[in-house]
Structure 1
Amino acid sequence: MRRSHPSVERVEAALAAAGTPVEVVWFDEGAHTAVAAATALDCPVGAIANSLVFTLDGEPVLVMTSGAHRVDTAFLGKRIGGRLKRADADTVKAATGQVIGGVAPVGHPAPLRTWVDTALAAFPVIWAAAGHAHTVFPTTFDDLVRLTGGTVTAVTLD
């Protein structure tokens, strides 16, 4: 039986429209963290592409970071030219149509300016949330950059 959720359907539609239809993987248990997703997938935590919403001088933006990193907001804000702050749950939902823990890199009401962590390039397959905390989909670094229109950058000094 195929599982479904409106946010996941929007992600699947966005991926298909971009020429990248994929099979979304559903977890029986939620994978709200990179560690939980990596454990469920039996992959390195660094191969989990966290979709994190911040505000850059008040504008919602997306940072795709390796699950092995925490975004250094001072470092990245200086690098991209503004004040970067973690978005609250209401801002995340309004900007993406998805809730924290399941935010996908695509399928949002409108495109978000996006930055993609250079560390994700080290993995041949990376896993991103598919619009719900119980879902992920496989992709590659190059496809993630293409799908999001993201700018590749380091997100931390480490």
Structure 2
Amino acid sequence: MCGSELTALPDGVQRVAAALQEKGHPHGPRMLDNSARTAQEAADALGIAVGQIAKSIIFRRKSDDAAVLVVTSGDRRVDEKKVEAHVGKVGRADADFVKSRTGFSIGGVSPVAHATPPVTLIDQDLLRFDVVWAAAGHPNGVFPLHPSDLQRLTGAPVVDVVQASAPQASGAGAA
């Protein structure tokens, strides 16, 4: 025992760990030594391809001010028009909106354990991987899963919501 087991996990990571355990997910959160606020930082820290990062992008639905969570590959850019085809008009979400609706800060938005359940879409491009890593409620927290587990954990549909060829993030939030 090195003592690190005694260090309490941040509140957001504890919420994610509890949600994962409650839903029978076999892998709990893991804290990285360095920040994983961006998909590239997370991929570098884990030694994996940036596409294997399941980044969480939050939008603000205009009709009812609901949070819209889009989970996509770290190497893809969200196409807002495709998102709007599924959920209606959306706009950018600022840091305060993200924190108040999800309970997480940008850079640590998990696909599970939100303060207020969001409207969620999972991008089909994540299915190209056997294992992806998602944020676990803190910029240093991540957890592994099979892309199909995202659908089981969130109840969200798997759809096409990314631009045809341009990699990178859009919206607010990241892996």
TM-score bin, normalised by smaller chain = over 0.9
Compared CA separation, residues 81 and 100, structure 1 to 2 (3 A): closer
1:81 deviation in Å?
4.4
Runs (5+) with no aligned partner, structure 2: 165-175
Runs (5+) with no aligned partner, structure 1: none
Segments ≥4 residues shifted beyond 3 Å: none
TM-score by length of 2: 0.85
Q: Which amino acid aligns with 1:33?
A: T
Is 1:138 aligned to 2:157, yes or no?
A: no
Is 1:67 aligned to 2:74, yes or no?
A: yes
Partner of 1:25: 30
Partner of 1:10: 15
1:42 deviation in Å?
1.0
Paired positions, count: 157
Partner of 1:121: 127
Partner of 1:93: 99
Measure the CA separation in 2 of the matches of 1:23 and 1:15: 7
Query: Which residue, 112, 115, 118 being the options, matches 1:109?
Result: 115
TM-score by length of 1: 0.94
3-state SS in 1 of match to 2:75:
coil
Is 1:76 aligned to 2:93, yes or no?
A: no
1:56 deviation in Å?
1.8
Structure 1 stretch displaced more, 106-115 or 46-55: 106-115
Contact 1:12 1:21 in 2 (8 A): no
